[in-house]
Structure 1
């Protein structure tokens, strides 16, 4: 009778029975050291199946060392922000979102402890406590940080999987009419009048106006060059640097009605010399958000604009007017210093008068085409369908208008 053969020894990992009766699986990491599975198993085959799955993951390159994801979220997210080289305002925003909205929930957790269910719960709680825009921005930051953790093989997969959670659906911003813009410019006083007008009709951002210098204003060409910006942080620090994006560096051709205001402001209020700031306070100091903000809110109240109307909303007026000229989307983006089509579309508004203008243009075009078709005989179906819609007098007018345009 032959000897009983022992089962072949495992080539990957090891399985052993614990005093409790449960089975433990251990597997080698990249350093060759055996490490235990995160859980124990009811049976030996269950433990061996788990080891087979780990071995397959390592062979495919999909295996993630559980110890790698043990770093806490607060430390990793802070380092993530430090390494990005962000603009001052973006850096400040991210640190505020981390401090107020992410760290209280995730800060002390290890990266590999943050799962989809925990994120869904956090988002639901934040949605009750703060605005939808802030929640969307916080979620986008969380998703970006966790994606880097996945790219660095600290976690297997990004746990942020809520569709549309990072999209902002802000309410339609108020838009000032042209007369309201001029009323605001008059109410705020002569020193700050041009700032209001450039914010609206040149689509300039407040931080761009704060760093505008005499050398950037070309009165002969009737244009302004935007090359720098000076956003003011919540700490009051004035940070001088590049515009918001690469598209922010641009030449803005001014409408002619602004030329006199530009000349007067440069003569009366701007600092002297090519490097002189165009906008300074009564005591010659650079523009400060807090001081200007008080004057803006007071003037806003005098004109009757809503309390939530911001200086940035002046860009809506200018960009909508520019769009109404029939300018191409690319030209509108260049004028406003925007790098994406989506950003430009935010600033274009379709009011009833715009819809009426479209309807009237369609009306005139159909009249012209109908008149042209009637003159050529047209098809039986066209004559039968279109002819009853308009009086003969309107057709005659449309034909005459079409002839005049062709002659011109």
Structure 2
């Protein structure tokens, strides 16, 4: 369509009742569109039309109608359509969107987001949450808007341009000594012998076993928690007898010295552990969803499918564990829960009193994943090359040939032998105690 004077070949300009000028032009799809702004002078409107025409010729034109989509709607679609996301990552992204992005930017159109708006949101977010959480939320928003700018082309550029906003410092995590690993493995299965009963006047009575004889604690407790805490303390101090559930001992040792993730070690089957070859094969992993579901899927990365050597020193412990707790079926879980099903992280923490045990050892805040860090450190001390270490740890930035090993040999056997030597000859400090170190995780 041309103007009345027939001087324009692209779009047209009309004068509104207000005296301002508005442009109309055909999009690449042939549909006519009206400009979102009006102009005081006709020459300004003509320049706007020329700019739009040039953008279309270069393939840089952004459809203003598409950019009106709300950030919340676009981000939700982005998460649902993003390929390759693990279930826990999907849960995290949806939680970050709901908790830290939508409350601040709800109702804002993607095309209306500016760097100033993002900067203000990031500053407000930083006042109420940790540095790490704020960085995660920013990285999610940046990734969403990068797709909007580069793939969907509904905005001219990504407004997330704040330097350092997505950075988070890796927290130093504890690395245990060999002696500490064995001590932890022994402690996690220890349970006191006794019970707590509610009596009148809303009090609780504690009974405990001492030298094989049941006794009653002379005091009563206001809550069950106080009574249970006292029972555990008595067991730790040797004033009450305890039992030893050794099913978790093997789990702690294998996870540490084979550098396994929680999802990997909890998903192991009898057929995955070859004690004659001193090797464990990682094929799948359990993923716990935020809603409570348990999903069996591939390991965290492509390199996660691998075969790892087992130090000979823990083979007898694993053999005893398999004979005692694992069914003869090749598909039987290597580390089943108390009722025979997959063991959940929360159940493991509760039954082992993980938080209390590590605190009693002077390792408050130790996570199960830190056992993997310990194993990685021991492997690194073997002197093996980076690629061989990455293959053992199950990291992605290695060649495809290192992703999965059918047999433990070569460099991996060197790593296994080096760890084994450290297990056979654990070091201690001058006073005879073992101390841990802190190293950053990346």
TM superposition score normalised by structure 1: 0.78
- 3-state SS, counterpart of residue 346 of structure 2: helix
- Could you say which structure has the higher helix fraction? 1
Deviation at 1:311, TM superposition (A): 0.5
CA RMSD of aligned residues (A): 1.8
8 Å CA contact retained: 1:187, 1:303 = no
Does the C-alpha gap of structure 1 residues 256 and 45 become closer, same or farther in structure 2, counting only changes over 3 Å? Answer: same
- Could you say which structure has the higher strand fraction? 2
8 Å CA contact retained: 1:195, 1:209 = yes
The equivalent of 1:303 in structure 2 is 361
Deviation at 1:243, TM superposition (A): 0.5
Listed as ranges, the matches of 1:199-238 within 5 Å are 199-238=255-294
Superposed CA deviations along residues 344-381 of structure 1, whole A, max 9, x for unmatched, are xxxxxxxxxxxxxxxxxxxxxxxxxxxxxxxxxxxxxx
Superposed CA deviations along residues 117-148 of structure 1, whole A, max 9, x for unmatched, are 11111111111111222222222221222122
The equivalent of 1:372 in structure 2 is none
Structure 1 unaligned residues grouped into runs of 5+:
1-5, 342-408
- Between the aligned partners of 2:332 and 2:29, the Cα distance in structure 1 is 63
- Between the aligned partners of 2:163 and 2:172, the Cα distance in structure 1 is 23
Superposed CA deviations along residues 211-262 of structure 1, whole A, max 9, x for unmatched, are 1000000011001000010122232211101111110001110111111111
- 3-state SS, counterpart of residue 170 of structure 2: coil
Superposed CA deviations along residues 150-179 of structure 1, whole A, max 9, x for unmatched, are 211222222222233333322212222222
The equivalent of 1:173 in structure 2 is 173
Higher deviation after alignment, 310-319 or 104-113: 104-113
- Between the aligned partners of 1:288 and 1:128, the Cα distance in structure 2 is 34
- 3-state SS, counterpart of residue 149 of structure 1: helix
- Between the aligned partners of 2:396 and 2:110, the Cα distance in structure 1 is 34
Which of 6, 13, 16 is the equivalent residue of 2:14? 16
Structure 2 unaligned residues grouped into runs of 5+:
190-245, 399-442
- 3-state SS, counterpart of residue 62 of structure 2: coil
The equivalent of 1:72 in structure 2 is 70
- 3-state SS, counterpart of residue 234 of structure 1: coil
Q: Identify which of structures 1 and 2 has the higher relative contact order when contacts are C-alpha pairs closer than 8 Å and 6+ apart.
A: 2
8 Å CA contact retained: 1:187, 1:302 = no
TM superposition score normalised by structure 2: 0.72
Number of residue pairs the alignment of both structures matches: 335
8 Å CA contact retained: 2:175, 2:377 = no
- Between the aligned partners of 1:143 and 1:340, the Cα distance in structure 2 is 24
The equivalent of 1:195 in structure 2 is 251
Q: Does 1:312 align with 2:311?
A: no
8 Å CA contact retained: 1:64, 1:154 = yes
8 Å CA contact retained: 1:228, 1:243 = yes
- 3-state SS, counterpart of residue 243 of structure 1: coil
8 Å CA contact retained: 2:282, 2:306 = yes
Deviation at 1:210, TM superposition (A): 1.1
Stretches (4+) displaced over 4 A: none
Deviation at 1:79, TM superposition (A): 1.7
- Between the aligned partners of 2:180 and 2:52, the Cα distance in structure 1 is 68
Does the C-alpha gap of structure 1 residues 18 and 290 become closer, same or farther in structure 2, counting only changes over 3 Å? Answer: same
